[in-house]
Structure 1
C-alpha cells in the first residue's frame, strides 16, 4: 500500500509566505497541498505553476458555484493548470456538476462540497432552511454528486461511512477539519484526529493551521502523516 500524504492547506496571503513555508521541507519530499481562495485570488495562476514546478501535488479549492455554462467555462480554464484535484459546491445541482466535469475533463479529480465542516445542524436548518438532519443533507448531496459523475465529495469524517454506503467504496471522501490530539479546534465544529479519519475510511485529509502555524511545521506534518498512515502500517504488519 502506498503511503498517504495529508493535504496541507496553504492558507497564506502572499507568494513569499508560501515560498518560505515550502522551503522548510527537503526538496525531495513531495507534498500534497491545498490552494484556497485567499491565496489564489491574491497571487493567481502563477502560484499553481510555481508549486507544480517543485513537483508537489495540488488540490485547487475554489468551490465553484454558478450556472452550468459559467462553471463549465471556468473549469475549462482551470484544466490548463494541470492541478490534481479541484471542486464545486454540490448545492449547484446535478446539471452544474455535469457541466463542471465536461469543462475539466478527466485530467484531475473533481469533487463537490456537501456541507462545510464549520456548519452545525442548527445553523444549516436556520440559514439554509433545510429541515433534514445534517447527515441526511450531506448524504443526499453525495448521492447527487455521484449521479453527476464526479469522483467524490468534501465532507466531515463523521459522515464518511454513511456516504460510502449510499454511493460506493471507491467514491472519494476528502475530510477537512482534521486536528491532532490536543489541538485547538478553532472555527471547526465537526473534527476528528488523523488516526480516526483513517479508521473511518477517509480517502484524503486536509490539515491547515495545526501545521502551518506550528513552531516546527515539518515535525508536526510528519507526526500527522504518521498518525494518518498508522492503520495502514498495522495492516502491513
Structure 2
C-alpha cells in the first residue's frame, strides 16, 4: 500500500512536469501548505532516513523541477546567472557534503535549501503569459483562507490538540508564516480594486496570524505591512 501511495505522489508530479509544467506550479501552490501526515509520522525508512508523505512530495517536486529546468536549460541559465549568489551558495552546500558528518542529513538539508530556488527557476522558466501569472496570484490568495478554514474546522472537531491556531501536524510558526506572505500581498491589492473583499480577507488572515501567536511572524507581518504602506504613500520621494 505504501508503495502505491509513493508511486502516485511521485508519478503524478512527474507526469505534470512532462506534459503540463504550469499545472505543477498550480498544484504545488495550492497544496504546499497542506499537512499530509496528520500526525501519522514516518511511512518508510530507507537509506535516506525516515520518509513521510511531505518528504516524498518534496522529493518528487525536486526531481520534477530539475527535469523541467534541464529541458529549458538555456532559459533557466539566464536566471541562474541573475541569481548567481544563491546558486553559488547551493554549490557550496553541495561541496560541503564531502566533509559533512552525516551524508544522509546533508542531502535532506540540501533538498530543503534547493527547493525554493528550483521553484523560482521553474516559475521563471514556465510562466509565459499574464494570464498564467494572474492564475498563480489567485491560487496563492485562495490557499490563505483555505488553510484557515481547515485549521478552524480541525480545531473545532478536536483533531488538533495544539492550543494555538494551526493545521494538524504543523507548527504555528510554519502556519502563520504562510499566511503572513499572503496577507502582505492582500494589503498591496487593497488599493487596486475590490477594496471591501480584500479588506475582509486581510482581517481574516491577520486574525489567524494573531491566533497562531508566534512572535516572529507577527513581527514579520508588522514589518511587511509597514513597507507596503510606506511605498503606497510615495516612499522616500514623498518624505523628501
Give TM-score scaled by structure 1 length.
Answer: 0.27
Higher strand share: 1
Structure with greater Cα Rg: 2
Higher helix share: 2
Give TM-score scaled by structure 2 length.
Answer: 0.27
